[in-house]
Amino acid sequence: MPIVPFDTSMIAAISAELLLLLLAGVILAVDMIWGSKQKDHLGWITAGGLLFILLISLIFTRPEPVERLIFGGMLRQDWLTFTFRLIFLFAAAITSLLSINLKGITGRGEYYALLVVTTLGMSLMAASADLIMLYLAIETTSIPLYILAGFMKSDDKSTESGIKYFLFGALTSTVMLYGFSLLYGFSGETNLYLLSERLTGGEISIWVLGGAALLVLVGFSFKVSAVPFHFWSPDVYEGAPTPITAYISTASKAAGFAVLVRVMITVFPEISLYWTSILAVVATATMTVGNMVALAQKNIKRLLAYSSIAHAGYALIGLVAFSELGIASLLFYLAAYVVTNLAAFAIVVFFANTVGSDEIADYAGLSRRSPGLAFAMLIAFLSLAGMPPLAGFVAKFYVFAAAVESGLIWLAFVGVLNAIIGLYYYMTVLKVVYLYRSDDDEVPIAVSRPAAIALGVSVIAVLGIGIASGPWLGWALDTASSLF
Amino acid sequence: MPEDFLPIAVLIILATGLSFTILLLGQIFGPRRPNPRKGSPYESGMRPYGKGQRRVPIHYYLIAVLFILFDVEIIFILPWAVVLRDLGIFGLIEMGLFVAILLIGFVYAWKKGALEWD
Amino acid sequence: MIPLSWYLILAASIFCIGLYGVLARRNAIAILMGIELMLNAVNINLVAFWRYLTPSIINGQVFAIIVFAVAASEVAVGLALIISIYRRKTTVAVEEINLMKW
């Protein structure tokens, strides 16, 4: 993998990142000039700006036919970078729409600017091809997210969620960094692709290399909230402002998978037998713990938190399969999961804005108060549960197919069992929504335009990915083939 | 190799020895006339008031944090300054961008009143 | 010259001391200090590897510098979060920060 010398076409390759930086500056400037009036406009500016950047990167950052390392080997321009960049920008745009009517936020300029900066970090995470850049990108993603999780300074749960996220995140990223320093020490290189060339040939003992791989996996497991580094996620999800919860559970998790896939496949193909076995165990534990504990939840945000842990487990199956189909199914799974979970959290935002509660019991009678919202919830939750013809079903199908293709029939079986458990608790929530009655049956749920747009787009995406899955899978396969 | 540490060991022995010797000499030869003024904590010649440990206004932390953030950037500027001539105009532009981004942050903190002390 | 392994042992010990601090201490600020110690262990590793393996290319040094800068911003954010929780609860002991469980 040669490092291409600098030319101006590389500027186009990172145009999305440059524009994101510019957007963050514009938001801060607008906030400074307009002061406290016109606060809603900031959200629209952010969402509009992100949408614009999404279009720009769709047109101008398409990867070249041959993958290449750019900027002195710091970034890699390939389909993985491109695909994940689009996912992050989409999730960020939806999140900023959901945030417009959010209560309890002071300093909206900073809120949106941090959201944009963390998106910038994620985009670089997916693109990083160098340990230094990777660490920098991970921290550029994490540090704004710590602040955003604790953004509601007058709310006990939010401050608590911020500090828990920070302490867990700082610890795991430091352990991961120690692993990075060892990898650098084994090879004398920081570039992932040069590093893997140096590591092949078996000069480094498998045990030492495996140890470094384990340290690195700690950091990535935190990002994707895989067992046993999942403890932070329910607390953080419950306490953080709901749009931020949506963002952490979708884009941040997807970013974690992006680096997980890139680093494991690029740097450790020699010992793939070992780390796939470890990840198989982790995936099993993650699915099972997530689904089992979700059964007992009373709070919708915590329920979705445990469900998102379980989904990380399903997605890991794709990586464990360690084949092109496996990676493609993982990417497809992430795309489907991101849009579905955004839809689910959009409903939680709606509901909390009107009712001021996140308890599942309070969702009783939702189908009478707001049939449209209840129907959106039906689609989102059935997709999470993996019901055909929605996106979640197709995604699970491909992941399990990839596992079977790689001879991991037991893992596919565990996944199917878990999907059945999952179906139970998603159905429990839908039962409350559709069958139970409440005293407020007559009071409709207030609908705010920006959040309605966000919900509408997400639900359409869930249906679109589910029904017309062919082209999306083709895209995922193209992306996966750029890695091997 | 252990013998590489010999200079350090000698240094440690000398440093501890010297400080103990000076203290000892002061004890032996120095006149001892204690009074309350001498026994009180040193506060630049002023008369101390209040307890030594007290709460610092929370604002102090904000200033301290801003200081850390802007102070640590010198770590990038110093190596750059060393090779400035080799980097040429490209390096100058790069550093200009870097400092400009920092400056935006500084102006923002200023405008938001983070540097007001009242 | 002192062999590389000595530096690595030093870094590993500092890393473990830091990790112990993070896991054993109950004060959020002390936990933060433990994390800083671990980051310094990483820096010793990086600089030692650079000096012994690739003194002609400076990637290890650059890595260490970046870690420095990131650690500073991480501490800034961490302290801000600790202050914000102290204002709500007047404590920085982590076992008392337990509004949410299971």
Find the CATH number of the domain harbouring B102: 1.20.58
B116 domain residue, yes or no = no
pLDDT for residue B52 is more than 70: no
Alpha carbon distance A238, A358 (integer Å): 9
Q: Which stretches does DSSP call E strand in C1-102?
A: none
A203 domain residue, yes or no = no
Confidence of residue C102 (pLDDT cuts 50, 70, 90): very low
More confident site: C78 or B2: C78
> DSSP string spanning B32-90?
----HHHHSPPSTTSPP-S-SS-PPPTHHHHHHHHHHHHHTTHHHHHHHHHTHHHHHHH
Q: For A443, which DSSP code?
A: S
What mean pLDDT comes out for the span B72-89?
Answer: 88
CATH number for the domain whose boundaries are C4-93 = 1.10.287.3510
pLDDT for residue B46 is more than 90: no
pLDDT for residue A36 is more than 70: no
In tens, the pLDDT along A43-55 reads: 899 999 999 999 9
- Closest-CA distance, C1 to chain A, in angstroms, reads 18
Mean pLDDT over all residues of chain C?
A: 88
| Reported ipTM | 0.95
Confidence of residue A351 (pLDDT cuts 50, 70, 90): confident
- Closest-CA distance, B69 to chain C, in angstroms, reads 6
Mean pLDDT over all residues of chain B?
A: 84
A197 domain residue, yes or no = no
What mean pLDDT comes out for the span A449-478?
Answer: 89
Chain C residue with minimum CA distance to B75: C65
Alpha carbon distance A154, A244 (integer Å): 16
Instruction: With beta carbons less than 8 A apart as the criterion, state whether A427 and A322 touch.
Output: no
Ranges A46-55, A442-451, B13-22, C31-40: which has the least confidence: A442-451
Task: Give pLDDT, residue C99.
Answer: 67
Give the closest residue to A317 by CA, choosing from A359, A290, A282.
A282
Distances (CA, A) of A448 to A115, A343, A353, A427, C9: 21, 15, 9, 27, 59
Token pair recorded at residue C50: 């650079």
Alpha carbon distance A301, A290 (integer Å): 13
CB atoms within 10 A of CB A389: 13
Using a CB-CB cut-off of 8 Å, the residues of chain A touching B111 are 32
B20: contact with C, CB 8 A cutoff: no
Return the amino acid letter for A210. Answer: G
A140 domain residue, yes or no = no
Using a CB-CB cut-off of 8 Å, the residues of chain C touching A124 are none
pLDDT for residue A1 is more than 70: no
Percent of chain A surpassing pLDDT 90:
58
Confidence of residue B114 (pLDDT cuts 50, 70, 90): confident
Ranges A113-117, A431-435, A445-449: which has the least confidence: A445-449
pLDDT for residue C33 is more than 90: yes
Confidence of residue C2 (pLDDT cuts 50, 70, 90): confident
Using a CB-CB cut-off of 8 Å, the residues of chain B touching C3 are 1
User: Tokens 């009036």 sit at which residue?
Assistant: A37
The count of C-alpha atoms lying within 13 angstroms of the C-alpha of C79, restricted to the half-sphere facing its C-beta, is 18
Task: Give pLDDT, residue A39.
Answer: 64
Instruction: With beta carbons less than 8 A apart as the criterion, state whether A287 and A417 touch.
Output: no
B8: contact with C, CB 8 A cutoff: no
Using a CB-CB cut-off of 8 Å, the residues of chain A touching C38 are 171, 174-175, 178
> DSSP string spanning A317-332?
HHHHHTSHHHHHHHHH
Task: Give pLDDT, residue A254.
Answer: 95
Using a CB-CB cut-off of 8 Å, the residues of chain A touching C16 are none
Q: Do C84 and A162 touch (CB under 8 A)?
A: yes
The neighbours of chain C, by the rule of 3 or more Cβ pairs under 8 Å, are A, B
Looking at the DSSP assignment, which residues form a beta bridge with residue A68?
A77
B23: contact with C, CB 8 A cutoff: no
Q: For A360, which DSSP code?
A: G
Percent of chain A surpassing pLDDT 70:
98
Mean pLDDT over all residues of chain A?
A: 89
Give A450's contacts (C-beta < 8 A, 6+ positions apart): A43, A44, A47, A97, A98, A100, A101
A32: contact with B, CB 8 A cutoff: yes
pLDDT for residue C38 is more than 70: yes
Using a CB-CB cut-off of 8 Å, the residues of chain B touching C82 are none
Of A153, A166, A181, which is closest to C46 when you measure between CB atoms? A181
pLDDT for residue B2 is more than 70: no
More confident site: A202 or A65: A65
Distances (CA, A) of A73 to A128, A131, B50, C64: 9, 10, 59, 18
Domain ranges, residue B55 = 2-111
Q: Do B75 and C69 touch (CB under 8 A)?
A: yes
B6 domain residue, yes or no = yes
Instruction: With beta carbons less than 8 A apart as the criterion, state whether A212 and A195 touch.
Output: no
Domain ranges, residue A329 = 271-484
Report the SS3 class of residue A302. helix
Instruction: With beta carbons less than 8 A apart as the criterion, state whether A384 and A419 touch.
Output: no
Here the contacts of A366-374 (C-beta below 8 Å, separation 24 or greater) are: A366/A432, A366/A433, A366/A434, A366/A445, A367/A433, A367/A434, A368/A437, A368/A441, A369/A440, A369/A441, A369/A442, A369/A443, A369/A444, A369/A445, A370/A444, A370/A445, A370/A447, A373/A347, A373/A445, A373/A447, A373/A455, A374/A433, A374/A434
Task: Give pLDDT, residue C58.
Answer: 85
Alpha carbon distance A270, B23 (integer Å): 63
Cis-peptide into A471, omega within 30 deg = no
More confident site: A100 or B4: A100
Count of pairs with CB atoms under 8 A, one residue in A, one in C? 116
Q: What is the pTM of this model?
A: 0.89
Using a CB-CB cut-off of 8 Å, the residues of chain C touching A177 are 39, 42, 67
- Closest-CA distance, C3 to chain B, in angstroms, reads 7
Q: Do A156 and C89 touch (CB under 8 A)?
A: yes
Per the structure, the count of domains in chain B is 1
A394 domain residue, yes or no = yes
Task: Give pLDDT, residue A83.
Answer: 92
User: Tokens 């291409």 sit at which residue?
Assistant: A4
Ranges A135-139, A251-255, B43-47, C51-55: which has the least confidence: B43-47
Give the closest residue to A218 by CA, choosing from A260, A172, A271.
A172
- Closest-CA distance, A468 to chain C, in angstroms, reads 38
Q: Do C60 and A167 touch (CB under 8 A)?
A: no
Per the structure, the count of domains in chain A is 1
B35 domain residue, yes or no = yes
Q: Do B72 and C79 touch (CB under 8 A)?
A: no
Q: What burial class does residue B78 get, using C-beta atoms within 10 Å of its C-beta: 0-12 exposed, 13-18 middle, 19+ buried?
A: exposed
